[in-house]
Amino acid sequence: MTETYIVGLDYGTSSARGVLLDAATGEQIGSHMHAYRHDVMTRSLPDGTPLPRAWALQNAADYLEAAQEILSKLGRGRNIASIGLGFSASSPMPARQDGTALSELYPGEPHAYVKLWKHHAAQPYADEINRRGGAFLRNFGGKLSGEWLLPKAAQIADEAPHIWDATDRFIESGDWLVWQLTGTEVRSLGFAAYKAQYSDMEGYPHGVVPGLTDKLAQPHRIGSPAGSLSESWRQRTGISGSAVVAVAVIDSHVVLPAAGAVSSGCLVGALGTSAAYLVLSERFQPLPPGIEGVAKDGAIRDLWCYEAGQAGFGDTLGWFVNAFPRGADSADSFHHYNREAAQLEPGANHLVALDWWNGNRVPLADSSLSGLLVGLTTNTTAVDIYRALIESLCFGARAIVDLFESGGVAIDRVVLTSGLAQNNPFLVQTMADVLGREVEVPRIAHATAVGAAIHGAVAAGLVTGFVAGSAKFGAQSFERFQPNPSFAVIYAEQYGQYRELSADQTILHSMHVLNGLKDSLSDPACEHLALSDQAH
């Protein structure tokens, strides 16, 4: 009997990873990682065209190169039953009717490329959309983030109308990759609901960006098949078998079944470059103030999923250890910083930081904000600062948990996942201490890619649903971190200072000014933003 396998693809900020699982036993057979050729473009395009400040783009061709290498390495000569993929979001891109990325046709045009999730130049357009308001903001706390699809579409339409006119499809990169692999455009409800404010009752928002609704498509709920791997991709990769490709999923969402999070009341923190916090619920509860969004069937079928996050997490720590190295490389520096910071008692560094080094998602949805350190003296050490950054990330997570619970969304279990959660026990222990809760970390390699593989298995009918898929392919055990009660008083004081600083309007205003952005909700860049699709 021919052995059958499933593949999961995890497309992150700087690289993609794939895993190969035995479809019968659930065993991980292999994995492969591929770094994007052009990484994140913040200073210039591949042809040397300079980029303005606060831009973050990617080249869609890098995604195809990664897919070909990973699928070839894992699938060549094998019978592949299904392929699932998770993708960082929101990272939309313009394309032609046949799926050709506009960056291939306009290589010197910045607006023709993928606008990565941390592309902050669209924030003024989000501010303008928020000022106008609309029913589509109801399940998103009344405001959009500049990271999402609508403001990025508005930016292209206003600043590069010739590119917008040439755009037949404006599409999340995850959906575009599924299109490339199958030859059919099949979009995901997860991306549409959380990043483009789609709802089953009202569809996509109308009258926000000229012509946008004509460039979108009806989404399909997660766990749905998008089609089989096309013949051309089979020839490229050497894959045989049914190779059913599932609709794409937001990377932070796709990890849920791998982490055993398939039931109501579970909060999962996906700690990557940024952090996402997801709470599953069987019943709908009005969106708590400050929380980003809620939708049904966009993360786990038949459950509501509330979403919140921190715009910077692992990249904040990565920036610090690279800017102030303590070892031969980043891994060595992390080892030294974690070891020395763990020896400090809470409060011993006399510092409090704000975790906004890449902007703020919750509760302010403002990517023009920035980080802050308070308490620096001539006695402050690099280790003191590192610990303050770790604590600030945990304070940001606690603020999110507090918002959930004050809004009536019950949390009875906390699970942290990703390589950061698995490889940095000091961070996880600090999170347990700050939250005052037990924190679980699933013992599973490449959890996000495994989650993607489970989505593929559901789409191909290899398992009856996500509960069964989680039981078969997901984590079988968890490491548990218990909070230290003696730290509670000190962290309560520090957390109080964190909350006061984060609510200080003078500080917020200074951050806006320093970032070169006006504190007003209106901005000259948005003056020409059209009000309706009919105006196009």
pTM for the complete prediction?
0.88
Residues in CB range of 151: below 8 A, 6 or more apart? 122, 123, 125, 126, 129, 144, 145
C-beta separation of 37 from 62 below 8 A? yes
> Which residue has tokens 């990703």?
418
The domain ranges of the chain are: 4-252, 261-445+478-524
Angle at 151 between CA 222 and CA 122, to 5 degrees: 120
* ∠ Cα 180 184 185 (to 5°): 90
Measured over the CA atoms of residue 420, residue 423, residue 426 and residue 430, the dihedral's sign is positive
- How many residues in the chain? 536
Separation CA 275–CA 269 (nearest Å) = 7
Closest to 293 in 3D by CA, of 147, 94, 165: 147
Give the pLDDT score at 528.
43
Per-residue confidence in pLDDT tens, the chain, 536 aa: 589 999 999 999 999 999 999 999 999 999 999 999 999 999 999 999 999 988 999 999 999 999 999 999 999 999 999 999 999 999 999 999 999 999 999 999 999 999 998 898 999 999 999 999 999 998 998 889 899 999 999 999 999 999 999 999 999 999 999 999 999 999 999 999 999 999 999 999 999 999 999 999 999 999 999 999 999 999 999 999 999 999 999 999 999 999 999 999 999 999 988 999 999 999 998 889 889 899 999 899 999 999 999 999 999 999 999 999 999 999 999 999 999 999 999 999 999 999 999 999 899 888 889 999 999 999 999 999 999 999 999 999 999 999 999 999 999 999 999 889 999 999 999 999 999 999 999 999 999 999 999 999 999 999 999 999 999 999 999 999 999 999 989 999 999 999 999 999 999 999 999 988 543 444 444 444 443 444 33
Annotate 23-65 with three-state secondary structure.
Answer: CCCCCEEEEEEEECCCCCECCECCCCCECCCCCCEECHHHHHH
CATH superfamily for 261-445+478-524 is ATPase, nucleotide binding domain (3.30.420.40)
- CATH topology match: 4-252 vs 261-445+478-524: yes
The CATH number for 4-252, chosen from 3.30.565.10, 2.40.128.30, 3.20.20.140, 3.30.420.40, is 3.30.420.40
